[in-house]
C-alpha cells in the first residue's frame, strides 16, 4: 500500500469533519445586520420574546451611514425598532422622542418600544421556516425595510418605504410630525384595537386609518388581522434591517434584491410591487402567509399564536455555498496529495 492510499482514510475523515463543521455553522444562527440610511443617528432597540435569549445588545447607537450585526440562534423570536431624537449623557442615561423603551438608558434591558414605532418582528426556525414582518400596528416613526439573503423559499423583502409622518392625519400626528399614531393608540376604542367584541378576524375590519397605512405601505402589517399580505417566510437566511431607505417612485413591477454579508451594505436600485427606490438596494415584494397581532406576536392565518409553538428542535438547512466550500477544500487536498506522491 503506497503512502497516498494509507492516508486516504484520514482524508475522508477530515472531509467528513469539514462538512460537519460547515453544516453546524449554518444551522445554529442567523445574522441580523442593521443599516442606517437616515440623515441622522438612530438608536435601534431589540426586544426578545419570552423564552428567547438576549442578543449581544438590547439597544445601541447607530450613526448615519453605518451598520452593525448581531447573531441570533435558531428558535429566537423578537422585535427590532429604531428610536429617534434621543439624548443620552456620557453614562448612557437619557430619553428618546420616538420609540423610547422606558429603560432610561441606551440599552433597553427587556423593555419594548413606546408607540408609535415601526416594528420588524421575527420568529426564526419554526417548523424549519423563519417568519418575519414589518408592523405598523403600533404606529409609525420611520421607514424600514427587511431583506433576507442566502436563504431558500420565498424570502421576499418587505417593509414601509413611505414617509407616513408627512401623510399622517392631524388627529394621529405626534409633535411636529415626529411620528404617526395608530388609531388604537389615538382613540383607544375596541373597533380600532381589535379588542372586546372585535377580537376576531370576523369582527375586526380595516379602518379608514389602517387602510391609509396599507395604501402607503402595502406589504406592512396595518392592523391586528392584516394577515394575507403582511407576513413572509424564508429558510436559512440572514437578514438586513434598513432604516430610512430612500423615497419611492412609481415604476415597473420587477426588482432586484442585493445580498448583504456582515456589515457590508450594497448600494443599488430596484423595483417591486410598483415601487422603486435607490440607496439601500432593497426591493418590496408580494407574499402571503401569517401575520402579527397588536401585541406583536406572530400569528398564523388561522389565528393561532406562533410564539406559542415549540421551536427548539427546528434547524436551518446548510447553505449551498458552505457545502461547496467544503467540497472544494477536500478536492484541493486530494490533488495536493496526489501530486506529492505520484
Q: Domains of the chain: which residue ranges?
A: 30-314
What is the mean pLDDT of the segment spanning 38-55?
96
pLDDT value of residue 114? 97
Beta-carbon contacts of 146 under 8 Å, excluding residues fewer than 6 positions away, are: 120, 132, 134, 157, 158, 159, 239, 240, 241, 242
Query: How far is CA 281 from each of CA 99, 128, 144, rounded to the nearest angstrom?
Result: 25, 28, 13
CA distance 119 to 114: 11
Contact present, 32 and 72 (Cβ < 8 Å) = yes
Percent of the chain with pLDDT over 90: 58
Per-residue pLDDT of 251-280, as tens digits, reads 222 323 333 333 333 333 333 333 333 333
For residue 80, pLDDT beyond 70: yes
pLDDT value of residue 340? 63
**Cβ–Cβ contacts within 10 Å for residue 3, how many?**
10
Contact present, 313 and 211 (Cβ < 8 Å) = no
Contact present, 243 and 141 (Cβ < 8 Å) = no
For residue 196, pLDDT beyond 60: yes
Q: What is the pTM (predicted TM-score) of this model?
A: 0.68
pLDDT value of residue 213? 96
For residue 159, pLDDT beyond 60: yes
- The mean pLDDT value of the chain amounts to 75
- Domain at 30-314: CATH code: 2.60.110.10
pLDDT value of residue 271? 33
pLDDT value of residue 337? 60
pLDDT value of residue 126? 73
Amino acid at each position: 500500500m503506497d503512502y497516498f492510499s494509507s492516508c486516504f482514510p484520514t482524508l475522508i475523515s477530515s472531509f467528513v469533519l469539514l462538512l460537519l463543521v460547515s453544516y453546524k455553522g449554518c444551522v445554529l444562527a442567523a445574522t441580523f445586520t442593521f443599516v442606517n440610511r437616515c440623515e441622522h443617528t438612530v438608536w435601534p432597540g431589540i426586544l426578545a420574546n419570552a423564552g428567547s435569549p438576549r442578543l449581544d445588545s438590547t439597544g445601541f447607537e447607530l450613526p448615519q451611514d453605518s451598520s452593525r450585526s448581531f447573531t441570533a440562534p435558531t428558535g429566537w423570536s423578537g422585535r427590532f425598532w429604531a428610536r429617534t431624537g434621543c439624548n443620552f449623557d456620557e453614562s448612557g442615561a437619557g430619553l428618546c422622542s420616538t420609540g423610547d423603551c422606558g429603560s432610561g438608558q441606551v440599552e433597553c434591558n427587556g423593555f419594548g418600544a413606546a408607540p408609535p414605532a415601526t416594528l420588524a418582528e421575527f420568529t426564526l426556525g419554526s417548523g424549519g421556516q423563519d417568519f418575519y414582518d414589518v408592523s405598523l400596528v403600533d404606529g409609525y416613526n420611520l421607514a424600514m425595510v427587511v431583506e433576507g439573503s442566502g436563504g431558500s423559499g420565498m424570502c421576499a423583502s418587505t417593509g414601509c418605504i413611505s414617509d407616513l409622518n408627512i401623510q399622517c392625519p392631524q388627529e394621529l400626528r405626534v409633535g411636529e410630525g415626529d411620528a404617526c399614531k395608530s388609531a388604537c393608540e389615538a382613540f383607544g376604542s375596541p373597533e380600532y384595537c381589535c379588542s372586546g367584541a372585535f377580537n376576531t378576524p370576523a369582527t375586526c375590519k380595516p379602518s379608514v386609518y389602517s387602510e391609509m397605512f396599507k395604501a402607503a405601505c402595502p406589504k406592512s402589517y396595518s392592523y391586528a388581522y392584516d394577515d394575507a399580505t403582511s407576513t413572509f417566510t424564508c429558510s436559512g437566511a440572514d437578514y438586513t434591517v434598513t432604516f430610512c431607505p430612500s423615497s419611492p417612485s412609481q415604476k415597473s413591477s420587477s426588482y432586484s434584491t442585493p445580498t448583504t454579508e456582515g456589515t457590508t451594505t450594497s448600494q443599488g436600485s430596484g423595483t417591486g410591487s410598483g415601487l422603486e427606490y435607490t440607496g439601500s438596494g432593497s426591493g418590496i415584494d408580494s407574499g402571503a402567509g401569517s401575520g402579527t397581532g397588536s401585541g406583536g406576536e406572530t400569528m398564523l392565518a388561522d389565528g393561532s399564536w406562533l410564539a406559542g409553538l415549540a421551536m427548539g428542535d427546528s434547524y436551518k438547512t446548510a447553505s449551498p455555498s458552505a457545502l461547496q466550500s467544503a467540497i472544494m477544500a477536500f478536492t484541493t487536498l486530494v490533488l495536493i496529495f496526489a501530486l506529492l506522491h505520484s
